[in-house]
Amino acid sequence: MKNYSTKVFRTSLLGQPMAMLCGPEGNKFLFSNENKLVTLWYPAYLDKIFPKVDNADSGVTSTTNKQIKEIRKQLPAVLKLEHMINHVGMMDTVMKQQLHTEWNREKITVVPTLTKFTLTLSCRFFLGIEDPKMVEEIYVSIKEIDPGIMSIPINFPGTYFNRAIKASKVMRDMMKLFVRQAKNDLQEGCASESKSFMMHMLRTADENGQFFSDSYVAHHVYGLVEGGYGTLTSTLTFIMKYLSEFPHVYDEVLKEQIEIAKSKESNEVLTWEDLRRMKYSWNVARESMRLMPMAIGGYREVITDFTYAGYKIPSSWKLYWMAKATHENPDYFPNPKKFDPSRFEGKGPPPFTYTPFGGGARMCPGHEYARIAILVFMHNVVTKFRWEKLIPDEKVVHTAIPTMSHGLPVRLHPHKNQFGI
């Protein structure tokens, strides 16, 4: 091994020459050189599932960075913490409704149950849609897309890839209908006071004073709905998995959540101040994301030749960073396979070693959205139930995002009184 660099190595992925940058130094280098030396890159076959749309019309275009910059300028307005704290009550209400309709049985399969919760949140937040029937229509199509993302890209009837392409078109058409209806409501003065991202985009002009086209808005809200439910479902699934495997961790989370529950009036929704008190619960969530990050890593394309760790990396090469390259490194996380929420007490891990949301200019803009949803979920579920896995040795499956091979079936054990004692 002494003959090989621990900082960078060359390989080939997806038919592309690719350099793998390892360690916190590699993460820092990539995150701090966005649009200077590197830029976002995705495999070309994904364009068939997610065609790019120009703001001027509904046609496909090969330029993506300008679009991405524009959409990322709009996202902070609705995803920044000052705005997100106003949605804590809504998320809590949605979770309580889900407990009533989806968790009212002895056994559940966690992944599809959580998908309904996260997709309902995503539709409510990004689209302003509250109708469960509409959410179900979206679910029927969107569940066909993820298997196609990591499948062999053969567009032949019956393949995962083909089904994903068809489902994506159905989703885009559905989003266009939602956008047109919302736009008509705006023009007729009968639009609701929705604070959804879709309404924000329809009310906002770009840097040239032009409003976004229907197709452009539909394209991006679709991407946000798609991105806003799958990774969150994965994270919540593994939190449930680990809490069932480590009863002492569950007990500490329950203790913290009981104190918060006792401070609330009957039927009073959670607030941002309540979430700020969930310090141990958040450390549990962070440790879960360390062991099972919601995204495997990310791709970049080199736009200017550069030298890193003594190696020249030429323009047009692709780069890849992996969260687990540091998450499971004992130099930064001693005994890395152990589930230990105390790692995040005090100063926590060194910079650029913990990257479940990426970093730099490309850091996931929805990280505060995810944090609020995670803590709201943990409070509601832990104060209502204990649970046990029905398949003790169920395997983890790594596709576009990690999941459980059988969806994590569990048996629920409701608490005997209000505060789970």
Cα separation, 305 vs 176, whole angstroms? 41
Q: Which two tokens stand for residue 170?
A: 């159905």
Question: 347 Cβ partners below 8 Å, 6+ apart?
Answer: none
Q: Which two tokens stand for residue 61?
A: 């275009």
Coil, strand, or helix at residue 411? Answer: strand
Cα separation, 220 vs 157, whole angstroms? 27
- Summarize the chain as % helix, strand, coil (round to 5): 50, 15, 35
Q: Which two tokens stand for residue 63?
A: 């330029």
Rounded alpha-carbon distances, angstroms, from residue 99 to 48, 92, 244: 37, 11, 18
In the chain, what is the greatest distance between 2 CA atoms, to the nearest angstrom?
A: 70
Distance of CA 416 to the CA centre of its chain: 34
Q: Could you give the dihedral angle defined by the CA atoms of residues 401, 403, 405 and 406, in that order, rounded to the nearest 10 degrees?
A: -130
Residue 190 counted as an annotated binding residue:
no
Rounded alpha-carbon distances, angstroms, from residue 211 to 51, 64, 65, 195: 21, 18, 19, 18
Among residues 16, 102, 89, 176, the alpha carbon closest in space to that of 384 is found at 102
Cα separation, 116 vs 135, whole angstroms? 8
Rounded alpha-carbon distances, angstroms, from residue 114 to 33, 106, 234, 282, 354: 36, 16, 9, 19, 25
Coil, strand, or helix at residue 98? Answer: helix
Which amino acids are annotated as binding site for heme, given as ranges?
364
Known binding residues are: 364
